[in-house]
Structure 1
Amino acid sequence: MTENVWPVVELRQYTLRPGTRDVLIELFERELIETQEAVGMRIVAQFRDEDDPDRFVWVRAFPDMDARGAALTAFYVDGAAWRAHAPAARATMVDTDNALLLQPASAASGFVLPDARPGVRATDLPESRALATIYYLDSPREEFIEFFDNRVRPVLAATGAPPIACYVTDPTPNTFAALPVRRASVFVWFALFDNAARRAEHFDQLDASQVWGTEVRHELAKRISGPIERLRLAPTARSLLR
């Protein structure tokens, strides 16, 4: 298992043309994982958004911001793989600008990843499910991190969703301007579940939690600037995070 050697993370949500998501995933998993990793990035996860059949969500990571700029240049500008497959990939895409540039909320809050992923011929889909939750902050970042660790995290753990990773907006200037990133101030946490039923149980338990309902939820609302964004995600066959 590898921990925190990839501290710069992109959370990318792509809106696709109707009916093309599986086309993009097949292309991505056959041609665009190893070729990105070969130039210095790590493809952390690929997901189907279970609430939007035309959304592909994925996560990639880098050792640092300078390495990010170099790796993206090597892949998108100089790389043969993207040159060959960009037309087919772009034919599925409507919008690719919904991207957040993130860093770990603390030294120990980054993804812990397995060292190997399923092979290029893998087609079996894992039963596991993920949840990515995005809070748009209306309070100082360090204050929110302390609040989350002290008040929110215990409730999540008690209701079956202990966070496996927590990130905040990375304020560093974008080192690859050809790919825009959103500059909202966010806190993002991720959880994994054995299956969809376990994730549904978490939501049921959260709704029934007296601590959540009478205290923590209201305290959270005072610290964020808008609705909570929850992404219910199904890992693809070759997702490293699963």
Structure 2
Amino acid sequence: MTETHWPIVELRQYMLRPGRRDRLIDLFDRELVETQEAAGMRIVGQFRDEDDPDRFVWVRAFQDMTARRAALTAFYYEGETWRTYAPAARETMVDTTNALLLQPVWSIGDLGAQFVRPGRCAVDLPDSRVLVTIHYPAVTMAEFTEFFAIRMCPVISDTGAEVLACYETDPSHNDFPALPLRRERVFVWFSRFDTTEDLDDHLAAMSRCPTWTEHVEPALSKRLAVPSERLRLAPTARSLLH
């Protein structure tokens, strides 16, 4: 059997009505995982943003842009699931337009491929945490990628983090305009930690590391159009990436 690859990734950040996040997550984990995958996409992960109680972050992937259009059409327009549950999902939402379309920066395994999704009855929340860092390069992507690989990655590794995957903006035309996409040029990397404490230890170690604070961070700032963003994410009970 030929292995399926999922190189096209959407990173989606939803702003929700106050106090509604758990309601959306319960619905999502119960009704919107397998049904989206049956339409032809992979649900990589869904998360609570630990720094914003009203933000829900999720990631899904596609085999290519043609498959993306077909899968989204099948799920949102042709299937029964979204027609049934869209009113309840939308009732929780304020803004769903913060979405990035990404492609791999270099050859990597599919994000989340090494994990197994917990079953439909799963309720226990993982101890693990995911850190997503979004950079906005002011230089060419080739220059920024080289800087990341040579200057940033060694410090990231030395301070207790492993880079799972790196992505950049996919410039393809959005041929499913019902779901808007942000078009900024970004470089996004994912890392995973066994516990919240491990994530906190990594960030603290970065802030204390002279190589980072005195050399790498100032050089990074000169290569950015705007400051970077960090998303500290707690996987839901059924997130594949956990």
For normalisation by structure 2, the TM-score amounts to 0.97
Q: Runs of 5+ in structure 1 lacking a partner?
A: none
Give the corresponding residue for 2:71: 71
Alpha carbons of 1:109 and 1:213: their partners in 2 closer, same or farther (altered >3 Å)?
A: farther
Which letter does structure 1 place at the counterpart of 2:84?
A
* 1:227 Cα deviation after fit: 1.3
The answer (yes or no) to whether the contact 1:109–1:167 under 8 Å persists in 2 is: no
Match of 2:139 in 1: 139
Counterparts of 2:122 and 2:81 in 1: how far apart (Å)? 20
Match of 1:238 in 2: 238
Give the Cα separation in 1 of the matches to 2:196 and 2:115.
25
Cα distance, 1:41 vs structure 2: 0.1
Q: Is the 8 A contact 1:162 1:191 kept in 2?
A: yes
Call closer, same or farther: CA 1:141–1:109 in 2, change over 3 Å.
farther
TM-score w.r.t. length of structure 1 = 0.97
Contact residue 105 and residue 167 of structure 1 kept, 8 A: yes
Q: How far, CA to CA, are the matches of 1:121 and 1:112 in structure 2?
A: 20
Aligned residues: 241
User: Contact 1:135 / 1:229 at 8 angstroms: preserved in 2?
Assistant: yes
Assess if the C-alpha contact under 8 Å between 1:6 and 1:61 holds in 2: yes
For 1:145 and 1:118, locate their aligned partners in 2 and report how far apart those are by CA, in whole Å. Answer: 34
Q: Deviations over 1:14-72 (max 9, x none)?
A: 00000100000000011000000001000000000000000000000000000000000
8 Å CA contact 1:109–1:166 kept in 2: the answer is no
Amino acid at match of 1:46: Q
3-state SS of the aligned residue for 1:227?
strand
Corresponding residue of 1:10: 10
Look up the match of 1:179: 179
Measure how far apart 1:110 and its partner are. 4.4
Q: Is the 8 A contact 1:104 1:110 kept in 2?
A: no
- Deviations along 1:58-114, one digit per CA (max 9) or x if unpaired, are 000000000000000000011100000000000000000000000011012642513
Whether contact under 8 Å (1:4, 1:108) holds in the other structure is no
Q: CA deviation at 1:218?
A: 0.9
Structure 2: where are the runs of 5+ without partners? none
Partner of 1:221: 221
Contact 2:21 / 2:56 at 8 angstroms: preserved in 1?
A: yes
Which piece of structure 1 moves more, 4-13 or 193-202? Answer: 4-13
DSSP 3-state at the match of 1:164: strand
* Preserved CA contact (<8 Å) 1:13 1:96: yes
Equivalent in the alignment of 1:159: 159
SS in 2 for 1:24: helix
1:176 partner amino acid: F
- Aligned match of 2:119: 119
Q: CA 1:4 to 1:111, structure 2 compared with 1: closer, same or farther past 3 Å?
A: farther
Q: Which amino acid aligns with 1:54?
A: D
Q: Structure 1 residues 21, 200: CA separation in 2 closer, same or farther (over 3 Å shift)? A: same
Sort the Cα spacing of 1:115 and 1:219 in 2 relative to 1 into closer, same or farther, 3 A: closer
CA–CA distance in 2 between the matches of 1:115 and 1:206?
A: 27
Percent of aligned positions that are identical: 60
Q: Report what 1:25 is aligned to.
A: 25
Partner of 2:46, secondary structure, is strand
Q: Is the 8 A contact 2:112 2:240 kept in 1?
A: no
**What's 1:209 paired with?**
209
1:138 aligned partner, one-letter code? A
Contact 2:17 2:93 in 1 (8 A): yes
Q: What's the counterpart of residue 61 of structure 2? A: 61
- Partner residue in 1 for 2:101: 101
One-letter code of the match for 2:120? Answer: V
* Cα shift at 1:175: 2.2
- 2:89 aligned partner: 89
> 1:137-173 CA deviation, whole Å, 9 max, x = no partner?
1110111111100110111000011211111000011
Residues in 1 aligned to 2:224 and 2:76: alpha-carbon distance in whole angstroms: 35
CA distance in 1, matches of 2:4, 2:44: 12
> Does the 8 Å CA contact 1:62/1:68 hold for their aligned counterparts?
yes
